[in-house]
Amino acid sequence: MNRTPGEGELAGTAPSHDRDRDHDHDRTPPIPSSLCSRSRELTDAAADISFGALLDADIDIDIGTDTDTDTATHTRHEPRIQWATPDGLEIVGRGVAARFTATGPTRFDDVREQAARTFEALEYDGPAVARPRAFGGLSFHDSFESSANTATDSDTDRESDSATDATPTTAPWHGFTAASFVVPQVLVVRSDETTWLTAVSLDADTATQRLDDWHDRLADSSFPAMRSSGSPPGVTDTERTTSRAAWVEQVEDAIERIETTTLRKVVLAQSLSVGLDAEIDVPATLERLRRRYPNCYRFLIDHSHAGSHDASGTFFGAPPERLVSKRGEHVETEALAGSAPRGETPEADEEFADQLRDCEKVQHEHVLVAEAIRDQLTPVTSSLTTDDQQIRRLATIQHIRTPIEATLDDEVTHVLELVEALHPTPAVGGMPPDQAWETIHETEPFDRGWYAAPIGWFDGNGDGEFAVALRSGVATDERVTLFAGSGLVADSDPHDEWDEVQLKFRPILDELRPEKASSDQSETQLDSAATETGGERPYPR
């Protein structure tokens, strides 16, 4: 790798804006001479609009009326985002007012510089909760590149866009790049008891007109306030990148490295390609995930280019883990490592939780993650607090969680600086980071793309929030590619780790199958696992 992952420049050193600049003229986007944004509160029926319907609606960005359904202009190819947090903030966005992309080892610095110039030109009139933000994410490896971001967006405002030097990558990540964020032209933000509409454009008149047009369209009684979460598309087939025998060999090789080198932990992942009976409705799938996993993040990132016949896939998920949140000087993060199934009764559930607390292997793995996070934050904080361990219970799985809060000193001003320092945490990479990344690169037979990488948003003040893109998948046509991994330490058992990965596929996989089929399949998987492990259900890992 070109840099030591998880070891960003947070220990009082200056940002590396001068290194690797021979291709900067290709990465730097045109900066708009002005950027204006207006907001207004949605009331009555408009406040209760369906976010899923808003994402799918064929509405032209500028005039607020229905478009035709020609594949070259259908708004499905228009970039769209959805973001929701466990504390109730929900945001959907359409279109591109500004785009920030970058590749290579300087991608964090490059995105920050592009965004700083754009946000400096922003004139905003509205409440803080509805302010323009940049939404997107980054790839797990900084060497990741894709060929689909070389086109420009078809936008009547010619609003800011950046093209990237890139080389092709394999499916399903076509259309993604090492770092990509968009400031949407239209945002709907729901928080607490209020819902806000925000429009962004190059000038105040266009922003105001766009705001009024969209307000009128959303207030129309024909726009749905509620939208069915639909039915799962059904599964026709599944294709694994890693067989069980290959997995056992990979885990044994990794354990040998841990025992014979300075590698202490590594997270290995699997990819599962799922064929569908019908094209997936991603917003409806996220709505079903919301009902089943209400205390998880939810995201949808579709950075397709408007008017493109070669659109990329849609990356979506319901991750349980916050990477970092920054509000002014206040920082919140967490260590989430160690997994067990949920019990069928309260007593069985608590037994699994007790085993998580008492298992030496689980505690060792969890402590590695918590210590690494503290080590990265300590040099740039005036205070840091680590809470007691908790059990994070989700619908099908439970984890050990250690909350961590800190107050920043004056050296860090942007959430992306924290993201760069923390990614990848040992919960998704390993320890030490450079050797873990090398092991992952040499072992996994697929490209992680944006899986297990930072996903989230930032604003013009450098504040923002990022989750770790776990429990996620990429939807392309009538296939969805899922990803899941497991942390390995010296006493890991390959078969236990296999069972953990299958358990982590379930949140998305269950929403692709009809309910009965999903339940039957889950029981079959667990019974099969029990047979191969001597008659016991999977033990906490």
The catalytic residues are 265, 321
Neighbouring C-alpha atoms within 13 Å toward the C-beta of 254: 35
Q: Are 462 and 408 in contact (CB under 8 A)?
A: no
**Tokens standing for residue 138:** 């980054």
Q: Are 365 and 487 in contact (CB under 8 A)?
A: yes
Interacting residues of 486 by C-beta distance below 8 A, sequence separation 6+: 267, 268, 269, 339, 492, 497, 498, 500, 501, 504, 541
* Rama region for 132: left / alpha / beta (φ>0; ψ in -120 to 50; rest): beta
**Tokens standing for residue 32:** 């708009």
Q: Is the peptide bond before 172 cis (omega within 30 degrees of 0)?
A: yes
Max intra-chain CA distance, the chain: 70
Interacting residues of 283 by C-beta distance below 8 A, sequence separation 6+: 51, 52, 55, 56, 82, 227, 300
Interacting residues of 492 by C-beta distance below 8 A, sequence separation 6+: 251, 255, 361, 486, 541
Torsion angles phi and psi, residue 457, rounded to 5: -150, 160
Q: Which residue has the tokens 């086109």?
A: 151
What b/e string do you get for 202-218 counting C-beta neighbours within 10 Å, with b at 16 or more?
beeebbbbbbebbbebb
Interacting residues of 392 by C-beta distance below 8 A, sequence separation 6+: 320, 336, 398, 399, 400, 401
What b/e string do you get for 239-276 counting C-beta neighbours within 10 Å, with b at 16 or more?
eeebeeeebbebbeebbebbeeeebbbbbbbbbbbbeb
Among residues 478, 508, 359, 368, the alpha carbon closest in space to that of 431 is found at 368
**Tokens standing for residue 326:** 């920054």
Cα gap 348→445, rounded to integer Å: 37
Cα gap 448→176, rounded to integer Å: 12
Taking the alpha carbons of 114, 55, 467, 487 in that order, is the dihedral positive or negative?
negative
